[in-house]
Structure 1
Amino acid sequence: MMSSWFLLVALACGLVGAQDPSLQELNTKVQQLTTKVEELQREVSARPQVAFSAALLETQQWTIVGPFDADKTLEFKKVVTNIGNGYDPETAEMMSSYFLLVALACSLVGAQNPADVILRQLISRVEQLERDSENTVTSQVAFSVALLEQTTWTITGPVAADQTLVYKKVLTNIGNAYDTETGVFTAPVKGLYYLRITGVVGSSMTLRAGLKKNGEDIFEIKAKDQGSGSNGAALELEKGDRVYVRLMRGSAIADQSRLSTFTGFLVFPMESA
């Protein structure tokens, strides 16, 4: 009995009912390989790699959109991450992950490929899944830190120049990729990461802080007068990329061991090109 996964792909790609005798000759090998694919897919959670993160505007100038007379779909134009190309900046819609999976399978198999090509592609798929399975086991990365260890309300700043924030209270540091001496998280493997920062500020003060990757601005938070800010993004990182938070000149930030935080974790590893 041919596996349900293979039948789904074959149906979607128009392979069911093929009359090529070579396909029948290789049927046994294909069945064995598809069984192996199913086993490996279960090990790596059988999900496609799909993630996106987008900001509303590409301009760095303060810009207000609206008010509107009617409901409006917001089109986020600055694409930070779009793994799988599921997000469309023209429509602001996310394609269904099920459709992406079938599309991925169809592109892998190819409706007009001869049977020997299909067999080679299945072998390649097995090898890829085996690598993914190994990565899933070895690539466990997550950290969450607070700015200060003391529980008393403490204000840092206003600072005279941009300053990297060094978060001292470690809540979680699986993989030891966050450095408490420098405040820098260094990606141990290539992959899709989720990163978030939160911050609070004291009375009559202003907070402006930003997440940076290798010196590149990714996103910012702003707050004033005992307010708070939070922001996050899904970000594709190469092995060795450095991510950290910079407090901008003239800004201040407050904490009491649990209010101003920096958090990140590996969503899934990705194979290097």
Structure 2
Amino acid sequence: MEHKEENLEAPSFFAEFSRDEFSPRPGQALIFDNVLHDNSKSYDTESGMYTFPFPGIYHVTVTMTVKRRTTMKLELMHNGDVVTSIEENYRGTSSQIIRAQRGDQLWVRKVNHGGSSLCKHTGFSSRMVSDMDT
């Protein structure tokens, strides 16, 4: 799919943790520091925020792997609102379709106070699947 405004490939990104044993604080945006793909340069490794570059419909996925098999809960946030959550004690994935405007922000945060750690196989991705006007 090409984006007609700039004649670019559909905006997409995939990032994951580069290390094991990461224990984020509750409420903290997760920083996925290993960006494997980001064709619109819209993921910020300093804040953990993905800023939608174009209005459209996006398919978003969060995958988590928890160490020590204790329960951890993550939430996918869109402009401060919870879109979905994942609560797992080993591995879990959640996918959502999101209608976004240019400049909207998306991030993942930890919810609970558990002593769990996330593994480097925890990731966050998004891909535009349709323009708003189609």
TM range (shorter): 0.7 to 0.9
Q: 1:142 aligns with which of 3, 12, 17?
A: 12
Indicate the residue corresponding to 2:118 in structure 1.
254
Q: 1:231 aligns with which of 84, 88, 94?
A: 94
Indicate the residue corresponding to 2:37 in structure 1.
172
How many equivalent residue pairs?
132
Indicate the residue corresponding to 2:130 in structure 1.
268
Shift of 1:262: 0.3
Distance 1:136 1:270, change over 3 A: farther
Task: Tell me which of the two structures has the higher relative contact order, counting C-alpha pairs closer than 8 angstroms and 6 or more residues apart.
Answer: 2
After superposing on structure 2, the runs of 4+ consecutive aligned residues of structure 1 that deviate more than 4 Å are: none
Name the CA distance, whole Å, in 2 between partners of 1:210 and 1:142. 20
Name the CA distance, whole Å, in 2 between partners of 1:216 and 1:243. 9
Alignment of 1:74-223 (within 5 A): 134-135=4-5, 137-138=7-8, 140-147=10-17, 149-150=18-19, 154-157=20-23, 159=25, 161-223=26-88
Name the CA distance, whole Å, in 2 between partners of 1:133 and 1:264. 15
Question: Where does structure 1 lack aligned partners over 5 or more consecutive residues?
Answer: 1-44, 46-131
CA deviations on 1:153-185 (whole Å, 9 max, x unpaired) are x222263x3211000001100100111111100
- After TM superposition, the structure 1 stretch with the greater mean CA deviation from structure 2, 170-179 or 203-212, is 203-212
Shift of 1:133: 7.2
Q: What's the TM-score once normalised by structure 2's chain length?
A: 0.88
CA deviations on 1:1-38 (whole Å, 9 max, x unpaired) are xxxxxxxxxxxxxxxxxxxxxxxxxxxxxxxxxxxxxx
CA deviations on 1:167-213 (whole Å, 9 max, x unpaired) are 00011001001111111000111000000001011225221001000
1:242 aligns with 2:86: no
Name the CA distance, whole Å, in 1 between partners of 2:70 and 2:77. 23
CA root-mean-square deviation: 2.1
Q: Which has the higher strand share?
A: 2
Name the CA distance, whole Å, in 1 between partners of 2:80 and 2:92. 21
Distance 1:218 1:253, change over 3 A: farther
Indicate the residue corresponding to 1:103 in structure 2.
none
**AA paired with 1:261?**
G
Q: Assess if the C-alpha contact under 8 Å between 1:222 and 1:228 holds in 2.
A: no
Name the CA distance, whole Å, in 1 between partners of 2:53 and 2:24. 33
Q: Percent identity?
A: 23
Name the CA distance, whole Å, in 2 between partners of 1:178 and 1:254. 20
**AA paired with 1:177?**
S
**AA paired with 1:255?**
C
Q: What's the TM-score once normalised by structure 1's chain length?
A: 0.45
